[in-house]
Amino acid sequence: MQRNLLMRVPQRAAQVWLPVIFAALFALLCTSLPATAAENTTPADVAAAAKINVDSEVAKLQKQLDGIKQQVSNAASDSKYGELNDAVQQLIGNTNDLATALAPLQAQLQAQVDVLGPAPEPGAAITETSEVTRKRASLNVQKTKLDAQLEQIQAIRTGALNLSAQIVTLRRNALKTQLALNSGSILGGRFWSPLLASQDEDEKRLTQFQSQLSDTLSATWEPDWRYGTLFYLLLALALATAGQRLLEKYLARAGIRWLPEGRLRRSFLASATVLSSVTTIGLAANLLDYTLVRPGDIPVAIGSFLDNLVRLAVFSAMIAGLGRAFLSNHRPSWRLPAMANPVAKAMDPFPIIAASLMFVFGMLEQLNTTVGTSVAVTIVGNGLSALALALTVGAIALRSNQVRRQMVEAGEQPEVRSTLSGLVHLATLLTAIAVLISLAIGYISLARFLIYELIWVGMVLSCLYLLITLVTDLSESIFSPNTASGRRIKRSLNLDDRHLAQATSLVSVCGKVFLILMGAVALLNGTFGTTTPIELLQKSVEIWGGKGLESLSIVPANLVNAAACLVIGIYVLRSSRRWLEDDFLPKTTLEKGIRASLVTLFTNIGYILLILLTLAALGIQWNKLAWIVSALSVGIGFGLQEIVKNFISGLILLTERPVKVGDLVNISGVEGDIRRINVRATEIQLGDRSTVIVPNSQFISQNVRNITMGNAMGVATLALTFPLDADPEIIRDILLSAYGDHESILETPAPSVTFSQLTPTGMVLSVTGYVPSPRMVAGAKSDLLFEIIKRLRTASIPLASPQKMVLENASDNTLLPE
């Protein structure tokens, strides 16, 4: 039924939308560019440029720049930074005006030089008059001087832009210091005072920004750009609405048609939902950005504001897409997380609400940052955004609990949540409560930090869950013997099902490890709305190259990162060890001892790498650790000598494998089975199930008997003493018969009886037989003794009893035998 619904995508939609998309691409390629300066040059412009005293104007601009720099070094308040930034922006505008005014004169000089052409080569047949030569030289001098002046103007403009960026940075640092203080409760009048009282400076900045934005919008509706603007707006609207639904349907249809049946279709559909939302909304946002900036140069503030809005739109679209993908109310049977249908339906409006609030309040914060509003106005914006998002998050948690309680009261069974899901739900609710408490007591910046970090962590973990599910399902589908790809791989490489299962586990775990590492990098180094996949990849490459180890200084942030790295690393290492020990290695043909050695080696190397990564997260540089290594070398030579010796011996045991897990060994009178080879010592289990801990160095420095090495056979030897008057031939036959009838005694080598020795107490006969394993010797000897004694009594042949000598105090002092 679902497949039929998905296959009913109107074919006419493709015929309508494909021409529209191609028309949009054609319009983007064929959009007319502004005319060049030479084509727009008029005699009036040239005359106006000739009247400008360029040297005087350049000197004036340079003096203004130097004066602003001096004032910046002495500024300490937010209002002063704002005034200086406005002055810098005015200076940037003056440099642009001066460069624009001189452009016609530069174009005219260039045109005149081009008309005269280059000077003829010496000895050429064609010569020119002295007047032409003089005119060319004069024009070249004027052009060189004007070019130098324009370069100087450009240098002043670049310096002003750099100064503006520095002012913005200084102002943000000052704002952070002020925002970290108690800003007044959201319930008090101090918080709302910027909205109730007039803020002249803020109104001035907002008015100026509004004027720049209006000019930008007006430029897009000029006659030369009007129709293109209308077309792009309609195309962006179509992409954001119908385009998203059509793309999602086409991706779902392609998944059902081309992917094999199984869980891969489900995870692919969820990924397609997120991809369609992000792609269409991202394209629409970029199209709107292009629509506004294509008429020509726009102010730097407007360009920065529009770029941030594009990123914010993509981030909000990802929130909405992830919510729709996980709820999957249109296809409940394809839902990835375990969630009851009533709960999913109750959560249906929240992804759109959360994404909309994120976009609106994010745009408000971007406006405050771009305009440079005062601290009070910035606090109001931060508080409102934190309040709205915290209420939304709290409503999601409370609403889901309410629906689950209603289901229990109605006699329905809600989904069984795991411990991890319960912890995530509890952490979300507690964070929302903490944000509301922070807003109530006046710590607005803390509330904003908590709610945005919650959103960022939730975003990263959601993407991580979706991608891990997709990678797992994809690897299982590719290497499954029931799919076409799996059968092709099996046939091409001559593999069996066991090898395909191993490939599935290996590819799946490699993908999971990579995604978890990327998620850890995103959590440790990313923030809300600032991290892209490209930046994550660059950050990973930087960490791999050693960036972050430049200094030995340890700051609280580095301690938090190191703790997070240690916790995540231990979890990943233990999960990988369980996968290696319980999932991957049992599917191989390796012996149990080799598997245990590989797991131990993997664990040891993993802990070493984890320690190195933790030190890297602390910001420790390895060349700064030389003195630590030197100091430790003394301790290793004395106090740590035994530990290091046992550690190295453990590595030798794991690599050379003179003994391995499962071997029966005898060392220093201790005989038992090796159960585990650790870093420092080896565990030997005795026959009574007790365990002896033997240092690894003893296996290297002492004589060790490996009883089971090389598939050795067991030897069951019994030495019995018989009276001197017994017939040894009959005894030998009885012993060989008992050994031959026992099921554990091997026929080859055959049992044998030897006459060991002749003593005054009797004759000693030794009977020897071989059993398949040394572990069977004790049981075989016990059974043989029972049988031999039974047969000897039947034949009336006794065992010799030792003589006892008794000393008595007789009157004749003689020694009497007993």
The pLDDT of 99-111, averaged and rounded, is: 79
Q: d(Cα 274, Cα 323) in Å, to the nearest integer?
A: 9
Please indicate whether residue 601 or residue 326 has the higher confidence score (pLDDT): 326
The token pair at 11 is: 């074919």
Whether 49 shows a pLDDT value over 60: the answer reads: no
Query: What are 670-726's pLDDT values in tens digits?
Result: 888 888 877 678 888 887 778 888 887 788 778 888 877 766 788 888 888 888 888
Torsion, Cα of 482, 487, 493, 494 (10° steps) = 80
Torsion, Cα of 361, 362, 366, 372 (10° steps) = 40
Evaluate whether 628 touches 667 at the Cβ level (below 8 Å): no
Whether 78 shows a pLDDT value over 80: the answer reads: no
Q: d(Cα 652, Cα 658) in Å, to the nearest integer?
A: 9
Coil, strand, or helix at residue 725? coil
The token pair at 594 is: 């080799």
The terminus-to-terminus CA distance of the chain in angstroms comes to 103
Task: Give residue 280's pLDDT.
Answer: 92
User: Helices 556-579 and 592-617 meet at what angle, rounded to 10?
Assistant: 170
The pLDDT of 25-45, averaged and rounded, is: 44
Task: Give residue 740's pLDDT.
Answer: 87
User: Helices 200-220 and 300-327 meet at what angle, rounded to 10?
Assistant: 80
Query: What are 439-467's pLDDT values in tens digits?
Result: 888 888 888 888 888 888 888 889 999 99
Confidence at 621, pLDDT banded by 50, 70, 90: low
Evaluate whether 751 touches 767 at the Cβ level (below 8 Å): yes
Least confident of 48-52, 585-589, 795-799: 48-52
The token pair at 785 is: 């003794």
DSSP 241: I
Task: Give residue 45's pLDDT.
Answer: 54
DSSP 576: H
Q: d(Cα 318, Cα 330) in Å, to the nearest integer?
A: 19
Q: d(Cα 303, Cα 56) in Å, to the nearest integer?
A: 32
Coil, strand, or helix at residue 672? strand
Average pLDDT, the chain: 77
The pLDDT of 389-396, averaged and rounded, is: 91
Helices (H), 372-443: 375-409, 419-441
The dihedral built from the CA positions of residue 72, 78, 80 and 86, taken in this order, carries a sign that is positive
Least confident of 222-231, 518-527, 559-568, 589-598: 589-598
Whether 354 shows a pLDDT value over 80: the answer reads: yes
Q: What does each C-alpha distance from 291 to 18, 22, 33, 241, 647 come to in angstroms?
A: 21, 17, 13, 18, 67
Q: d(Cα 174, Cα 77) in Å, to the nearest integer?
A: 8
DSSP 442: T
Nearest to 93 by CA among 166, 156, 162: 156
Strands 805-806 and 664-667 come out as unpaired
Q: d(Cα 720, Cα 798) in Å, to the nearest integer?
A: 11
Task: Give residue 23's pLDDT.
Answer: 42
Task: Give residue 130's pLDDT.
Answer: 75
Confidence at 322, pLDDT banded by 50, 70, 90: very high
Please indicate whether residue 561 or residue 236 has the higher confidence score (pLDDT): 236
Please indicate whether residue 736 or residue 713 has the higher confidence score (pLDDT): 736
DSSP 333: G
Whether 172 shows a pLDDT value over 70: the answer reads: no
Task: Give residue 331's pLDDT.
Answer: 82
The token pair at 485 is: 């790809």
Q: What does each C-alpha distance from 385 to 154, 360, 366 come to in angstroms?
A: 40, 9, 12
Coil, strand, or helix at residue 598? helix
The pLDDT of 372-398, averaged and rounded, is: 86
Q: Name the E strands within 650-746.
A: 664-667, 670-677, 681-685, 691-695, 705-706, 714-722
Bond prior to 749 in cis (omega within 30° of 0): yes
Distance of CA 311 to the CA centre of its chain: 21
Task: Give residue 21's pLDDT.
Answer: 45
Please indicate whether residue 596 or residue 467 has the higher confidence score (pLDDT): 467
Task: Give residue 554's pLDDT.
Answer: 46
Please indicate whether residue 101 or residue 18 has the higher confidence score (pLDDT): 101
Task: Give residue 433's pLDDT.
Answer: 92
List phi, psi (to 5°) of 686: -85, 180
Task: Give residue 392's pLDDT.
Answer: 92
Whether 18 shows a pLDDT value over 50: the answer reads: no
Least confident of 168-172, 366-370, 525-529, 654-658: 525-529
Q: Is the pTM of this model over 0.85?
A: no
Cβ-based neighbour number of residue 146 at 10 Å: 17
Confidence at 227, pLDDT banded by 50, 70, 90: confident
List phi, psi (to 5°) of 337: -75, 155
DSSP 771: E
Q: d(Cα 365, Cα 379) in Å, to the nearest integer?
A: 10
